[in-house]
Amino acid sequence: MTQTHLTDTRFDSFDLDPRILQGLQDTGFTHCTPIQAEILPLALPGRDVAGQAQTGTGKTAAFLVTALQRLVTYEPHPQRRVNQPRVIIVAPTRELAVQIHRDTVVLNRHTGFRLGLVYGGTGYQEQRDVLNAGVDILVGTPGRLIDYYKQGVFDLRAVEVAVIDEADRMFDLGFIRDIRYLLRRMPPPTKRQGMLFSATLSYRVTELAYEHMNHPHPVKIQPDQVTADRVSQHCFMIANDEKIPLLVGLLRGLEQARVIVFANTKRATEAIWGYLEGHGLHAAVLSGDVPQKKRLRLLKQFQEGALPILVATDVAARGLHIPDVTHVINYDLPEDAEDYVHRIGRTARAGAAGDAVSFVCETYAFCLPDIEAFIGAKIAVRPVTPDLLAEIDPARFVRTPRRRHPQDKRRGHGHGHGGRHKSRPKAVEGEPHKAETKETEGAGVKQRRRRRRRKTGGTGDGDSTVAPRS
C-alpha cells in the first residue's frame, strides 16, 4: 500500500472496527489520502463507487478497508458453503494480484478472515487446495478465476463485495469478456456492493460500471492533473544508434538510484539488458515471457534494493507499488499516451520526488505530440552533449540465456544437433534476423519429402498416401 499527499481526515474518524484500525496502525496509516477521504464516506455505508485517481494514491487501501468493514459488520448467509467467497477482487496482472493480496494480509492481521490468491503461471494445485479449504476474500486474475470456477472449485453466489481494479487495463489486455462472465454469475448488483477503480475512467469503463453496478457514484481526484506533480519530466531528441550510449551514460551518472527502464517489446528489453550487463550495470528483464516464479523473485529483489535496474515492458507499468523508485527511463516512447502516465507513475510515490526521462528517437518520435496533448503540458527537451554518451563495445554484449524448447532439436534451432544457427547479439533497432536462408529452406523441403517416402513407400510426389504439405 502507498501513502501520498495526506488530508486532515483520520481513519479513526470513521466508525471502523477496532481490529481494522489496529491493522491500519500497524502499517503506520493514520490520515487518509484524497481518494480514501472521498471513497470511504460513500463505500462504508454500502454504496457502489467508481473511483479514478492517479496511480499510487491509495486506492487499494480504500477498497480493502471497505470490504473488511462489511465482513465484520454482517454475518454470512446461514446457507453459505465453504467454497463461496464473500469478497472477490479481480486484478489484470499477476504482479498486481500478488501485491493486493500482500496488502490484504497486513490489514487482515487482526480480523482473521481466510484469504485466497489465484493467478496463472504457477502453483495450480496449491491454489486449488486453498480454495477447497474455503476462503472469505479471494484475489485473482480473470483467467485462473474462470478456470477454477468452471471446475466447480468455488462459486460466486455468495459474493457480497466485488472489486475490479485497474479496469481500463482489463480492456487493454482483452479481459473484458472474462470480467463480464464473472460479474453475471454473482448476485445482482442490488444484492452486492461493487467497487471499480482505475487510474483513468474512459467511456467504455464507465459503461461497464453502469452495466454491472448499482448506480455507482463516480469519484475523481485531480482529474485535470494527469501526471504526478512531483515527477520531473524531460526528454532527449536522439538518433536510434545513440540510445544505448546515452542510456549507459545516464545510468553510470546515477548514484544509489533505483531505475526502471521501459521498452515497447520483449526483444528490445533483452537487447538493453545485454548491453547493460556487458558494460558493468547489473539489471534484470521483466516481461510477459519471464516465468512467473522468476518474475516474482526479480520484483522482490528490486523492491528490496538488491537489484538496482529493472528493464521492463508495460507488464510493470500499472498498479505495482515499488518503493523508492528514483528514475523511470522511457527507452522507447509508448505508442499509447495513457501508458506514459502509468509508466512514470512508478516513481514519485508515497509523496516522494522522482525523475522521468524519455528518449525521443527516430522510431517513436511520432508519439510525443499525443503524449503532450494527453498530459496537457510540454515535456522539456535537454541537449544530448558528448559527455552523456558512453563508449560502447559491441564485443561486450551479453547474450540472453534462452530456455530450450522441446522441439528445438527437430526444428534445427538453438545449439541442438539439428541446426547450425549460432546466437548473435541483436541490434536494438531494425528488422529481426531471418530464421532461415533459402538454402536451409530448400534442405528442409527435401528432408520432409524423404521422410514421407520412407513412411509411405511412395515417391513423395504423386504416390504417397500422405497429402503433401503446403
Instruction: Copy the grid coordinates of residue 342.
Output: 502509468
**8 A C-beta contact, residue 76 and residue 87:** no
- Cell for 87? 469478497
Banded model confidence at residue 321, pLDDT cuts 50, 70, 90:
low
By DSSP bridging, strand 137-140 and strand 217-220 are unpaired
Residues 161 and 237 in one domain: no
Q: Is residue 430 part of a domain?
A: no
CATH number at residue 301: 3.40.50.300
- Model confidence pLDDT, tens digit, residues 195-224: 998 877 778 888 888 899 999 999 987 644
CA 412 to chain centroid, in Å, comes to 34
Q: Choose one of 372, 396, 420: the last residue of a domain.
A: 396
Q: Is residue 283 part of a domain?
A: yes
Say if residue 271 is in the same domain as residue 138: no
Task: Evaluate whether residue 423 is within a structural domain.
Answer: no
Between helix 18-26 and helix 94-107 the angle, nearest 10°, is 120
Question: Where among 220, 242, 265 does a domain terminate?
Answer: 220
What is the rounded CA–CA span in Å between residue 383 and residue 409? 49
Residue 360 backbone dihedrals phi, psi, to 5 degrees: -100, 95
Residue 462 in this model has a pLDDT that exceeds 50? no
Q: Are residues 52 and 188 in the same domain?
A: yes
Question: String of b and e for 354-390 (b: at least 16 CB within 10 Å)?
Answer: bbbbbbbbebbeebbebbeebbeeebeeeebeeebbb
Closest CA to 159 of 125, 182, 128, 132: 182
Rounded CA gap, 45 and 41, in Å? 7
- The residue assigned the cell 496449491 is 126
174 and 277 co-located in one domain: no
Q: Establish if 258 belongs to a structural domain.
A: yes
* Cβ-contact 332, 263 below 8 angstroms: yes
More confident residue, 447 or 441: 447
Query: Which pLDDT belongs to residue 468?
Result: 40
What is the pTM assigned to this prediction? 0.63
The full DSSP string for 171-237 is HHTT-HHHHHHHHTTSPPGGGSEEEEEES---HHHHHHHHHHSSSPEEEESSTT--S-TTEEEEEEE
**111 and 238 belong to one structural domain:** no
Q: Which of 396, 422, 440 is the last residue of a domain?
A: 396
Question: What is the strand order of the sheet 259-262 is part of?
Answer: 283-286, 309-312, 259-262, 327-330, 354-360, 231-237, 380-382
The confidence band for 129, taking pLDDT boundaries of 50, 70 and 90, is very high
Position 240 confidence tier, pLDDT thresholds 50, 70, 90: very high
Residue 425 CB neighbour total at 10 angstroms? 17
- The answer to the question of residue 261 being in a domain is yes
The average pLDDT across 58-74 equals 94
Bigger pLDDT: 455 vs 236: 236
Q: Which domain holds residue 197?
A: 11-220
Q: Across 251-265, 283-297, 456-470, which has the greatest mean pLDDT?
A: 251-265
Q: What is the pLDDT of residue 401?
A: 65
Take residue 75 and report the three cell numbers written for it.
454475518
According to DSSP, residue 259 is labeled: E
Name the 3-class secondary structure at 38.
helix
Q: Is residue 401 part of a domain?
A: no
Q: How far is CA 168 from the centre of its chain?
A: 12
Closest by Cα among 320, 390, 402, 332 to 100:
320
Res. 244: pLDDT tops 80 = yes
Give the separation between CA 358 and CA 169, rounded to whole angstroms. 22
Instruction: Residue 89: name the closest of 117, 69, 124, 128 by CA.
Output: 117
* 3-class secondary-structure state, position 249: helix
What is the C-alpha separation between 258 and 239, in angstroms, rounded?
26
Tens of pLDDT along 262-316? 999 999 999 999 999 999 999 999 877 777 778 778 888 888 888 999 999 887 6
Predicted confidence (pLDDT) per residue in 402-413, tens digit: 655 444 444 444
pLDDT over 80 (residue 330): yes
Residue 3 belongs to some domain of the structure: no
pLDDT at 35 over 60: yes
Average pLDDT of the chain? 83
* Number of structural domains found in the chain: 2
What DSSP element (H or E) covers 285?
Answer: strand 283-286
pLDDT band at 190 (very low <50, low <70, confident <90, very high): very high
